Every structure is written in C-alpha cells, then in structure tokens.
Amino acid sequence: MQKVLALIAHDQKKQEMIDFCTKWHAKLSRLSLIATGLTGYRIAQATGLPVECVLPGHSGGDIQLASRVADGEIDGVILLFDPQRPGVHEPDIGTLLRICGLHNKPLALNLATAELLVQSMV
C-alpha cells in the first residue's frame, strides 16, 4: 500500500514546493500525493505527478488535510510557510502541528525536513 504525503505551500512558497517536487520527482512518484487546491494544481501541471486536490487552504483545505491525518489516511505532511510573515498563518500551522503531534505523524516545515521526510517514506 502506497504511503500518502500531504503538500501545503503558502503563496510565497508555492514555487519552492514546485521546485522541490521537481527535484524529488522519482521518489514522490512512489507516493500518493494530496495537496491543497492551487498548490496541488500547480505541482501537477509543472511535474506531471498525480495529485489529489482538496479545497484551497484559505477555504478549509488545511482543515480537510488535518482531518485526514486524524483519520489515519495521511502518513506525513510538508507545510512550507513564510516565516517572514509571523502570525499570518498561525491558525492553519497550529492545527496541523497539533493533529500531527497527537497522531504521531511527521510534519516538515522547511525544505531540509521535507527532504528527510520524503527519503524516509520511500
């Protein structure tokens, strides 16, 4: 059974997520990918990787993904956020931190930990 990786990138980090997915294409192709709306669409368009898209983050997609983590449907999460804009994204980051912590699921918050997470999942 394929492991499931959730991908979320705030607006200022979407290109970094696309570049990451391009670099790690071979390993990511061995996982099931799920992402918030625009992030998932842009990854799929740029890389050709199949990505299941939920709602955009600002419309509750981050909550949908957190719920799926809680239900045991997601094995790991990569959330790229802009640390230069503190406070702006605290609610969605806080929810994912809490849910991943409660359910013992890895949550990568930057490219260095994202690489470690992908390597450990395949």
pLDDT tens for residues 5-58?
Answer: 999 998 899 999 999 999 999 999 999 999 999 999 999 999 999 999 999 888
Structure-derived torsion over alpha carbons of residues 76, 82, 84, 90, reported in degrees to the nearest 10: -70
Q: Looking at residue 58, what is its pLDDT? A: 82
Q: Region 77-95: what's the mean pLDDT?
A: 75
62: annotated active-site residue: yes
Strand partners, 6: 34, 77
Beta strand 76-80 with 4-9 is parallel
* d(C-alpha 19, C-alpha 36), whole Å: 17
For residue 119, count other CB atoms closer than 10 A to its CB.
10
What DSSP element (H or E) covers 83? none
Q: Name the band, by pLDDT with cuts 50, 70 and 90, for residue 66.
A: very high
Catalytic residue among 11, 62, 71, 75: 62
What DSSP element (H or E) covers 107? strand 107-108
Q: Looking at residue 91, what is its pLDDT? A: 53
- Where are the domains positioned within the chain? 4-121
Which two three-digit tokens encode residue 44? Answer: 């799929």
Q: Looking at residue 90, what is its pLDDT? A: 53
Candidate from 36-40, 79-83, 106-110 with smallest mean pLDDT? 79-83
Architecture of domain 4-121: 3-Layer(aba) Sandwich (3.40)
